[in-house]
Amino acid sequence: MGQFAERIFVVTGANSGVGKSATRSLATRGARVVMVCRSRERGEAALDKIRRQTGNDRLELRVADLAELDQVRHLGAGLAEDLDHLDGLVNNAGVVRAKREITVDGFERTMATNHLAHFLLTALLLDRLAAAGGRVVHVSSQAHRSGKLSRAPLESILRGDIRYRALQAYSDSKLANVLFSNELARRYRGRITSNALHPGVLATHIWNQNKTLGSLIAAAFKPVMGSP
């Protein structure tokens, strides 16, 4: 069955990039993996491919748009009900938007997806993580070094009520990931492990999310970027 046969993991953004690679790695070790994806079609395609590659039939799909907090609440409640413990939560899903977008909840979309959704999902699963002495992995970025959450009232940053710049919004969200990871580690020391990481400059779908000049240039360099 593999070294992780008794373990359960949840991976967000699991249909591509880092999330898909993490899912495949865990599945290879025999783990039960819950794949959280925004698109049912892409999620099912990734699940079927990983199942064929690994021979692991303990994969399952949950569909949720993490930019909508009601969907995150529904996802978290369902997972908490269905799982008696959780060994690992990989907070990976991420976006970057060329132009300012506001979610149905009134938050700036990059911050809502990259940070607020994962903050809420983690909070909803804390009991299940603590039951297993589990680990939370926050996929952040070296871009967090350019984040500056003190540049304006925090509420204004969260709501997108200030001048919008795509890289700044992304950097702010990744700084929020790191701060959350550190505080989670401090508060739950001995019960839950919390880590944040920079995965490297990788050839993932995030470079194709926008059609700006910068995105097109970055996408052109994907062949020399690292593999997820």
Residues catalogued as catalytic: 170
Q: In what order do the strands lie in the sheet with 32-37?
A: 59-63, 32-37, 8-12, 88-91, 135-139, 193-197
- The span from the CA of 151 to the CA of 136, in Å, is 28
Backbone angles phi, psi at 203, to 5 degrees: -80, 80
Break the chain down into helix, strand, coil percent, rounded to 5: 50, 15, 35
Q: What is the DSSP string of 150-161?
A: TSS-HHHHHHT-
Among 173, 109, 168, 108, residue whose Cα is nearest residue 140: 173
Q: Which residue has the tokens 């994806």?
A: 37
- Relative to beta strand 135-139, strand 8-12 is unpaired
Question: Which residues does 189 contact at the CB level (< 8 Å), separation at least 6?
Answer: none
